[in-house]
């Protein structure tokens, strides 16, 4: 293996000069769109089996060779690419996180977090700060979930985004959430059922329902069938504001943060009404920390504001939502940061 060289990626925290640190932050959007382009061109996959020249990568991606060379050069700046003495490009551990076959691939996150449904509303953050209003209607012409329903390619990216989040932040949930003795788990707003599949690894006998919008259910049902999970996982389309299937365990992963308090209470109330005796409702969300250490939830909170009009919450605020819906918290786990796991039962 020849020695490879490359500039170290920018590190905000290592910048000793405030103006340079601020400049790096201002140019932060460069990085997210460069990563998206790496993913759209599948560069990580093309480098998975060894180093490639610029021309080889351009041929494999079908992209313009001169621009591919310029893109790879910026990849060096961000630590995505290293170059050997022969001018061949090597992937790095960062690049590997974008491989489509990686067990915890962030490919879906790179697409879902940078497509129009997320990217464009963020340009309205100053307006949201002034008015307190979600920016999707102002920037997209409609609420974000309506926009996704009308744009299936971006909806598919959003579903992949949710799966990436499960792989990134929810890998310990099978240990935290006890499914022993659960007859039927309902994954409310479960997209492609990534959480249910994680729980079934720990408990292969677990049966579940992925309950999501009809357009999502239509897209996901064939995927579940092809995976061989259809004997254990059923996909049902519906509206969780109107009602949810009866079950023994309700899973709400990154659902409540999409909505204001009243809508959250509606969702929880529908779960409360459908619960079988002894059932539990499990909320998986980022939990806002103390005022002097709010954690990454503070960043996601602004994302929810501009994209959906929702918010991240403290444990006290979740307790209030549960109480309004006829539920009470029985435990909370922060063992898998940044998200917490809140378990509740009927009052």
Domain count, the chain: 2
What average pLDDT does the segment 214-219 reach?
92
Same domain, 294 and 205: yes
- Distance in angstroms (rounded) separating the CA atoms of residues 75 and 37: 11
Residue 209 within any structural domain of the chain: yes
Residue 294 within any structural domain of the chain: yes
Question: What's the Cα-to-Cα distance from 206 to each of 184, 231, 244, 253, rounded to whole Å?
Answer: 7, 11, 19, 18
pLDDT surpasses 80 at 11: no
Q: Which residues contact 150 (CB under 8 A, 6 or more apart)?
A: 142
| Residue 336 binned pLDDT confidence (cut-offs 50, 70, 90) | low
Residue 87 within any structural domain of the chain: yes
Same domain, 46 and 192: no
Same domain, 251 and 203: yes
Tens-place pLDDT, residues 141-199 = 999 999 999 999 999 999 899 888 877 766 677 788 999 999 999 999 998 888 898 89
Tens-place pLDDT, residues 33-48 = 999 999 999 999 999 9
Tens-place pLDDT, residues 239-297 = 999 999 999 999 999 999 999 999 999 999 999 999 999 999 999 999 998 778 888 89
Same domain, 155 and 246: yes
Would you state the pLDDT for residue 1?
A: 43
| Residue 229 binned pLDDT confidence (cut-offs 50, 70, 90) | confident
Residue 3 within any structural domain of the chain: no
How is residue 60 annotated by DSSP? H
Same domain, 141 and 90: no
Same domain, 232 and 158: yes
Contact present, 286 and 300 (Cβ < 8 Å): yes
pLDDT surpasses 70 at 4: no
Would you state the pLDDT for residue 12?
A: 46
CATH number of the domain where residue 181 is located? 3.40.50.150
Same domain, 115 and 22: no
| Pairing outcome for strands 208-212 and 185-188 | parallel
Residue 154 within any structural domain of the chain: yes
Would you state the pLDDT for residue 283?
A: 97
Q: What are phi and psi of 283, to 5 degrees?
A: -105, 125
Please say which residue of 100, 119, 140 terminates a domain: 100
What average pLDDT does the segment 92-103 reach?
94
CATH number of the domain where residue 69 is located? 1.10.10.10
Residue 7 within any structural domain of the chain: no
Residue 39 within any structural domain of the chain: yes
Give the predicted TM-score (pTM) of the model. 0.86
Would you state the pLDDT for residue 171?
A: 61
Same domain, 236 and 317: yes
Q: Which of 46, 89, 118, 257 does the annotation list as catalytic?
A: 257
Domain of residue 92, residue span: 18-100
What average pLDDT does the segment 92-113 reach?
95
**Can you spell out the DSSP letters for 273-311?**
HHEEEEEEEEEEEEB--BTTB--THHHHHHHHHHHTS--
Let me know if 257 is a catalytic residue: yes
Say what percent of the chain tops pLDDT 70.
Answer: 94
Contact present, 283 and 252 (Cβ < 8 Å): yes
Same domain, 145 and 261: yes
Please say which residue of 72, 100, 128 terminates a domain: 100
Same domain, 297 and 167: yes
Would you state the pLDDT for residue 313?
A: 95
């Amino acid at each position: 293996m020849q020695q490879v060289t490359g500039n170290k990626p920018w590190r905000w925290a290592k910048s000793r000069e405030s103006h340079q640190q601020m400049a790096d932050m201002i140019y932060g959007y460069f990085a997210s769109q460069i990563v998206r382009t790496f993913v759209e061109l599948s560069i990580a996959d093309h480098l998975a089996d060894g180093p490639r020249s610029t021309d080889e990568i351009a041929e494999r991606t079908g992209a313009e060779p001169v621009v591919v060379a310029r893109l790879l050069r910026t990849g060096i700046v961000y630590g995505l690419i290293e170059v050997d003495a022969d001018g061949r490009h090597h992937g790095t551990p960062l690049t590997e996180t974008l491989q489509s076959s990686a067990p915890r691939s962030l490919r879906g996150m790179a697409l879902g977090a940078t497509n129009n449904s997320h990217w464009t509303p963020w340009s309205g953050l100053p307006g949201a700060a002034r008015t307190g209003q979600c920016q999707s209607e102002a920037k997209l012409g409609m609420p974000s979930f309506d926009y996704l329903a009308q744009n299936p390619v971006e909806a598919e990216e959003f579903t992949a985004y949710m799966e990436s989040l499960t792989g990134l932040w929810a890998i310990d949930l099978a240990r935290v959430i006890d499914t022993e003795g659960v007859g039927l788990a309902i994954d409310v707003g479960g997209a492609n059922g990534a959480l249910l599949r994680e729980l079934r690894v720990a408990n292969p006998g677990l049966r579940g329902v992925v309950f999501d919008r009809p357009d999502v259910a239509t897209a996901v049902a064939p995927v579940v069938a092809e995976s061989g999970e259809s004997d254990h996982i059923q996909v049902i389309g519906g509206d969780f504001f109107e009602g949810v299937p009866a079950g023994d365990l309700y899973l709400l992963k990154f659902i409540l943060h999409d909505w204001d308090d009243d809508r959250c209470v509606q969702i929880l109330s529908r779960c409360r009404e459908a619960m079988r005796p002894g059932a539990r409702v499990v909320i998986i969300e980022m939990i806002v920390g103390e005022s002097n250490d709010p954690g990454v939830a503070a960043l996601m909170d602004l994302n929810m504001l501009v994209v959906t009009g929702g918010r991240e919450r403290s444990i006290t605020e979740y307790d209030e939502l549960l109480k309004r819906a006829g539920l009470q918290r029985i435990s909370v786990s922060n063992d898998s940061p940044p998200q917490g796991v809140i378990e509740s039962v009927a009052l």
